[in-house]
Every structure is written in C-alpha cells, then in structure tokens.
Amino acid sequence: MATRYKIPVSTLIVVHARAQSVLLIERTGFPGYWQSVTGSQEPGETIVETATREVREETGIDATQFGGVADWRLCNVYEIFRQWRRRYPPETTHNMEHVFGLELPREVPIALAAGEHTAHCWLPPHEAAARCFSWSNREAIERLVQPSR
C-alpha cells in the first residue's frame, strides 16, 4: 500500500464572534498549544472547501450557515516542525498557509474533534493572540482589531 502524504498547503481559519471574541482550540498531545482551526488541503479540494471542511470537522460548525468562510487573501509560508515532516513527501520542509475568517453573530456551542483537540475557549482578540503558539495565528487574530490597511 502506497504511503499517502499530506499536501503542504493548509488553511488557518479565525473563527470569531463579531471580532469581540475568538475561538481557540487546544491540540491533543500538546498541552498548552492553542490555535485557531487549521488543516491541510485534501486532493481535489479547493482551498475554500478545505477551510469549510476543517471548520466542520474541528468544531462542528457548518460555516455555510453563517455566510461561509471569508478569504482574507493572506498567505504565509512557514517551516514545518521537524516532528511533523514525516507526514509530507520526502524533502518537503515548508508549508503554504491560506488565512480565512468565519464571523459568527455570537459565540456558539463547539463539538471538538475527538482525538484532535482537548479543549476550547472564547477569548477577547488580544488574549487569544497572546495564547497562540503560532506566529501566523497571532498575526491573523491581531488583524481583527487593527485598522484596515
């Protein structure tokens, strides 16, 4: 059986309630690693489909019920952590991350993906950004409260 590698293209989706609070989820196996919804593109998916699927899988939220994910037209390239490189094709060291937002009218109940995340919280944007382990996640959340550029 052939090894199925991850595509080094992913999404980061900042789920927020009218920019007043931001949803963070804690990774299983990495206590203290808080992040927004993230996930890799699957073969044949558009990047919007990836973002929509990841929100549903990781939180139970159907983004289409809230107008869908919004493409922030922001991409980040970052080095893949060494412990996770085995998931990608040989010699792959970097990932292209596409940033999206999902605005909700209010905080909604969350159904975490079993085995993927252990906890969630809603925090004000500045607190959420400070808790994220990823620089790209921090910067994306900070965009919620920065004046338009």
Q: What is the pTM of this model?
A: 0.93
Does residue 83 sit in helix, strand or coil? helix
User: What class is the 23-142 domain?
Assistant: alpha beta
pLDDT tens for the chain, 149 residues long, are: 556 899 999 999 999 999 799 999 999 988 899 999 999 999 999 999 999 999 999 999 999 999 999 999 999 999 998 988 999 999 999 999 999 999 999 999 999 998 899 999 999 999 999 999 999 999 999 999 875 54
Q: Where are the beta strands (DSSP E) in the chain?
A: 9-17, 21-27, 34-35, 37-40, 70-79, 94-104, 117-123
Cα–Cα distance measured from residue 141 to residue 139, given in angstroms and rounded to the nearest whole number: 6
Residue showing tokens 């289409």? 64
